[in-house]
Amino acid sequence: MIKKIVYIIFITLFFQMSSSIAGSVDSEELKNKSADTADECFEGFSRAMFKLNNGLDKVIFQPVAKGYRAFPVPIRKATGNVVDNLRSLLTLSNNILQGEFGRAGNTAARFGINTTAGILGIFDPATKLGFEDLGKEDFGQTLGAWGAESGCYFVLPILGPTTARDAIGLVGNVFVDPIYQITHNTEIDNGVIGNSTYSEHNYYYYRGTGAVDFRAKNIESWDSLEENSIDLYASLKSLYLQNRKQKIANSKSTVETQDDSDWEEIDTN
């Protein structure tokens, strides 16, 4: 049980940081509005936790990501594709919850094609067939699409930056993610599947691999943000909130404070 909690903590930190450093918006509509009016709560505490989390990244996560980069590009590309393909099932659930059935059909088609013709998602023939990747969705975005305000912004120890809405969304993801349900449902097929082929640890391997893959893709991007930010905490907060606003609006624009060339192979979740 303790081992499982440790897995959850570290993997969630990876993905919370992913959402933060990948965020971007530059359309005129979003430029004319504030990024998101989330109130700052417990700023002193949040800044202390930010320093803790950033320290953990330098000591643990960044070295792991750099080690992952030693693998050949084709292997890393295939790994990222497989993780993205599995992740699309969570997107599908949230497409449906948001009533975006056109996007849901596109997501389902991509998953079916890439899982079969793409050999479990290693390749992406769906894009060549006209089913483009429309972006990822999570339950925090669904809450936003339903009209929920972001609420208070704060930084959690280990878990990283979030808002009241997104914190609830993290919990909601557990219930709407088919991969989580399959790997954790020990009653499937009288427990045979749940205890063997689809055991719980496979879920954490999948999430952890995706987190490492993302961090490896954005090492330079994060370093650039650190070097060019007067207040890294404030810059990260702004990017996080802009990113969430962008996702909820299904915008594909870029942040005016970052050039596209500064961010390579960005995966926003």
pLDDT at 198: 67
Helix axes 200-217, 219-228, angle to 10 degrees: 50
pLDDT at 196: 54
Secondary structure class of 196 (helix, strand, coil): coil
Secondary structure class of 33 (helix, strand, coil): coil
CA–CA dist 18, 169 (Å, integer): 16
pLDDT at 102: 96
pTM of the model: 0.77
pLDDT at 257: 39
| Alpha-helical segments (H) within 124-199 | 125-128, 139-145, 164-176, 178-184, 192-195
Enumerate residues 6+ apart whose C-beta is below 8 A from 91. 107, 135, 136, 137, 138
The tens digit of pLDDT for each residue in 145-169 reads: 999 999 999 998 877 899 999 999 9
> What is the block-wise mean pLDDT of the chain (269 residues), using blocks of 10 residues?
43 46 41 56 91 92 94 94 96 96 97 96 96 95 94 86 93 92 67 57 88 90 90 92 89 47 38
Enumerate residues 6+ apart whose C-beta is below 8 A from 112. none
